[in-house]
Structure 1
Amino acid sequence: MALAVTGLVLGAAACGGGGSGDTAGGSSSSDLSDKKVTLVHCGDVNPWCAVYNKTIIDGLEAEGVSVEYLQDPFDVALEIQNLNSAIASRPDLILVSPTDDNSLVPSLQQAKAQNIPVIINNSMPAEAAEDLVTATVNADQASLGTFAAQNIVEGLQEIGVESGNVIAITGSDATATSGDRMEAFEAELAKTPEYELVEVRNGNWDPAATGEIASQLFAQYESRGGIQAAYGMADYMANAIIQSAEQAGLPVGVGDKGLIVTGSNCFKVGIDNIRAGKQYGTATQTPSAEGEFVVEHVLAFLRGEEIEKVNLNSEDRVTADNLDEFADSCSQA
């Protein structure tokens, strides 16, 4: 994998260990056959989640860990239900990938009261929950947002657009995953004020919803200078934007001096679109590399080793210039 798996140290260390709800501490034995981990994660209906979850489960089970997987396909109520069920089963560790950060706080308070360690992954905990979780294992979401803005600016400048309207269609607005990306995206785009972010809409990681939103915005801005660039937070969302633009009869890509589109975490459809000249760029956060990063930290914790409070994987910007370097790893979903 081209992705580095070096955690960025942000915060105090969290102790590993723990067993069946015991306070963290424990033995550093490499035998993990008595350990149980429960995943409360996005469902396998999402292609990124499917690879991510399988990587985590396979990696933990290969070391003898018993894994229970409770799926919630971006369903907040089901996620809370699954988290409460996980707490009731008293595993050695719960892994949670939040759908709505704030909604999890009461359940995380309950887990903390019962000395059940919780690691948040692929997001950050709500501010009220920072002291309730053992650690966070996450992608560098801010870099993904920064790279997306750089792709848009570079693409617009390449085709000679001196000013223009930019739209962004995000994942779930209830998570830090989207929030951290958008904050960095807006900060980077603000360096070139000639490119104005005119609309930010919540696509909820749904390509169908993304396509509908994009079509509405293309029509809405037709008499207001049009849309010159678009950010779809995942490559399959960027693809939905591209399809909507083509259906509206809009040129797409640098070759046609048309709409500049970027994603910010890579899928095979994004790689194919970059090759075809329809998408300017994306970024990594490949599901297997992120899953392996989680496994590395979970195994260390279960063996009683110390892990940092916040652990961020490093990411890479992807464009046509370096596409071959990342094509294979970005084509897993």
Structure 2
Amino acid sequence: MAVITMFGLAGCGSSSSGSTKSAAGGASSVAGKQVTLVHCGDVNPWCAVYNKTIIKGLQAKGVKVTYLQDPFDVSLEIQNLQSAIASHPNLILVSPTDDDSLVPSLQQAKAQNVPVIIDNSRPAAAAVNDVSATIDADQSSLGTYAAQNIVEGLKAEGRTSGNIIAITGADATATSGDRMTAFKAELAKYPSYKLVEVKNGNWDPALTGKIASQLFAQYQSKGGIQAAYGMADYMANAVIQSAQQAGLPLGVAKKGLIVTGSNCFKVGIDNIQSGKQFGTATQAPDAEGQFVVQWALKFLQGDKIPKTNLNKEYRVTDKNVAQYAAACSKA
């Protein structure tokens, strides 16, 4: 398993490894090659920056890129993947919406000698041998950091117990699943803090806000909600807005709701700086896109790359937010 750091000590989002030079050195060999992206649509703010970064990075080396969008629509994603296979490009990059639903298509791609790399997730177990590689964030660390943020925030308020909710991304992907597995494992170390609800927000801030409002009302007579995990910063912001509408205090200074995110965004950085959000973690879309470009270029130039390539992620709180503010404000 290869790990490359995209956020250095200065949080600048640049790699500390030599893989960028290696990829750049083989730039002439990738010119004219064709890559098809089967990715989440640009209606999602994280996906928009992520996709733009990958496309721009590949095109800068002369790669011809086709981008097929599926805004977390499983049927459309399968249709797009089938279309991509039929065009027989040099590489297909797939960011799954539903891991299991892609298995037959991934098996078909392998049978037709069309290489596929899964990015921002990992393939279902049944398709592990059908993909050339995985390029992913360290999703487990993101889940662990979110739980650490919540525990640290609750302790800072002097709370020895509390009800916690989590509103996740697309539950049919390892992206959400790996984060929640790690999140639950970390919380299990502190049994007095209870994870009372886990709901699928499908990476949608409007749905996230609606779910949060419902849960705040539901638990009003059951001790209330003391902490919340919105799986992306824009989801955490939706939770914050719902809490404000419900008249709930926010943050340690007010002994209010402790909120954490992941997938750092400018809105998350702003909320941390204002005290409304306790913390987040990296996985900024441009840094993750650059990470994909590095490995995709190496693959296209014929280098043998590791089967699994995980980008290192970092926890962000008010103690180090200045270090990551610039890198986390690209979306």
- Corresponding residue number in structure 2 for 1:56: 54
* Distance (Å, rounded) in 2 between the aligned partners of 1:6 and 1:48: 23
- Corresponding residue number in structure 2 for 1:92: 90
The residue type equivalent to 2:140 in the other structure is A
Deviation, structure 1 residue 34: 2.8
Deviations 1:184-221 (A, max 9, x none): 00000110111000000000000111111111111111
- Corresponding residue number in structure 2 for 1:316: 314
Deviations 1:156-178 (A, max 9, x none): 00010110100000000000000
Deviant stretches of 4+, over 2 Å: 1-7, 28-31
Q: Residues 5 and 313 of structure 1 are in contact (CA less than 8 Å); yes or no, is this contact kept in structure 2?
A: no
- 1:317-332 → structure 2 map (5 Å cutoff): 317-332=315-330
Q: Residues 281 and 320 of structure 1 are in contact (CA less than 8 Å); yes or no, is this contact kept in structure 2?
A: yes
Report whether the alignment pairs 1:272 with 2:270. Answer: yes
Normalising by structure 1, we get a TM-score of 0.92
* Distance (Å, rounded) in 2 between the aligned partners of 1:302 and 1:206: 34
Deviation, structure 1 residue 180: 0.3
Match of 2:235 among 229, 234, 237: 237
- Corresponding residue number in structure 1 for 2:211: 213
Task: Determine what percentage of the aligned residue pairs are the same residue.
Answer: 73
Match of 2:226 among 203, 206, 228: 228
- Corresponding residue number in structure 2 for 1:76: 74
Q: CA RMSD in A?
A: 1.4
Deviations 1:39-68 (A, max 9, x none): 000011111111111111111111111100
Match of 1:173 among 159, 163, 171: 171
- Corresponding residue number in structure 1 for 2:31: 33
- Corresponding residue number in structure 2 for 1:249: 247
The number of residue pairs the alignment matches comes to 314
Query: For structure 1, which runs of at least 5 residues remain unmatched after alignment?
Result: 8-15, 17-27
* Distance (Å, rounded) in 1 between the aligned partners of 2:237 and 2:267: 7
The residue type equivalent to 2:254 in the other structure is D
Report whether the alignment pairs 1:120 with 2:136. Answer: no
* Distance (Å, rounded) in 2 between the aligned partners of 1:204 and 1:52: 17
1:34/1:109 CA distance change after superposition, 3 Å: same
- Corresponding residue number in structure 2 for 1:289: 287
Deviations 1:220-265 (A, max 9, x none): 1111110000000000110111111111111111111000000011
- Corresponding residue number in structure 1 for 2:3: none
Deviation, structure 1 residue 149: 0.2
Deviation, structure 1 residue 31: 2.3
Q: Residues 4 and 314 of structure 1 are in contact (CA less than 8 Å); yes or no, is this contact kept in structure 2?
A: no
- 1:15-30 → structure 2 map (5 Å cutoff): 30=28
SS in 2 for 1:183: helix
The residue type equivalent to 2:62 in the other structure is G
* Distance (Å, rounded) in 2 between the aligned partners of 1:60 and 1:251: 46
Report whether the alignment pairs 1:305 with 2:303. Answer: yes
Match of 1:66 among 59, 64, 67: 64
SS in 2 for 1:130: helix
SS in 1 for 2:280: strand
Q: Residues 263 and 285 of structure 2 are in contact (CA less than 8 Å); yes or no, is this contact kept in structure 1?
A: no
Query: For structure 2, which runs of at least 5 residues remain unmatched after alignment?
Result: 1-6, 18-22
Deviations 1:65-98 (A, max 9, x none): 1100001111111100000000010000000000
SS in 2 for 1:64: coil
Q: Residues 78 and 102 of structure 2 are in contact (CA less than 8 Å); yes or no, is this contact kept in structure 1?
A: yes
